[in-house]
Chain A
């Protein structure tokens, strides 16, 4: 079974430039997450999709970050304009199901996209 695919693996940009990251989740996984992991910290949830609908974007800096999940499969996370503090690894994860009543378990992560903003 193929895992979660992410690209690019590495990206270096100047501040105020834009960048986009792509994620292809595991086939059949309805829930998709974007996490931000700053060096030395735990992953922080940016946005959670259930199929193609957003269920949580409370920690997404909406003035500069946007994300979409077209057709409930692939997802793109965009940053425009980037700031120095956006330097981090952006992790995409998927899970089979996350119901309203019970957490059903395991998140499957991609290898991440490392962003450096100069």
Chain B
């Protein structure tokens, strides 16, 4: 069973601090690595994604760092705000008979203290 391992399970950060969430994957054939953000009572929504031909992608306060040799990628949230409090999921493609499916990590619950 293909897996995506995410850590930490939960994270508490002071307002203005940096939040870092890590993810490890197994299959080297993957070519798309997204992070999804989920608020209570809502479905996950794409936050930021990276393809493995680059080592870093930045969008506003959110940055993905990608380490292909280590099969790891991480999400950095700079200047964390209380509104960032949510659950974050990394995901990676896995193969199925029809092509690709998206496998999610277990999630990281982030709480930003005001």
Contact = CB atoms under 8 A, between A and B. Distances in A.
| Chain B binds chain A | yes
Interface of A: 4, 33, 35, 40-45, 48, 50, 53, 55-56, 58, 91, 93, 98-107, 109-112
B99 A107 contact: no
A55 B98 contact: yes
Interface string B84-110: 000001000100111111111111000
A110 B38 CA distance: 11
Contact of B98 (A41, A98, A106, A107): A98
Contacts, number: 77
Interface of B: 6, 30-32, 34, 36, 41-46, 49, 89, 93, 96-107
Nearest to B4: A42
Instruction: Classify the secondary structure of B's interface with A.
Output: strand
Contact of A42 (B34, B46, B104): B104
Nearest to A109: B43
A53 B106 CA distance: 28
A111 B89 contact: no
Contacts of B36: 107
B113 to A, nearest CB: 21
24 contacts: A4-B43, A42-B6, A42-B107, A43-B104, A45-B103, A48-B101, A50-B98, A55-B96, A56-B101, A91-B43, A93-B43, A98-B98, A100-B99, A101-B99, A103-B31, A103-B93, A104-B32, A105-B32, A105-B34, A106-B49, A107-B46, A109-B43, A109-B45, A112-B42
Given A55-B99, A103-B93, A109 B44 contact: yes
Contacts of A33: 101-102
Nearest to B10: A40
A103 B102 contact: yes
B31 A42 contact: no
Nearest to A35: B104
A106 B46 CA distance: 7
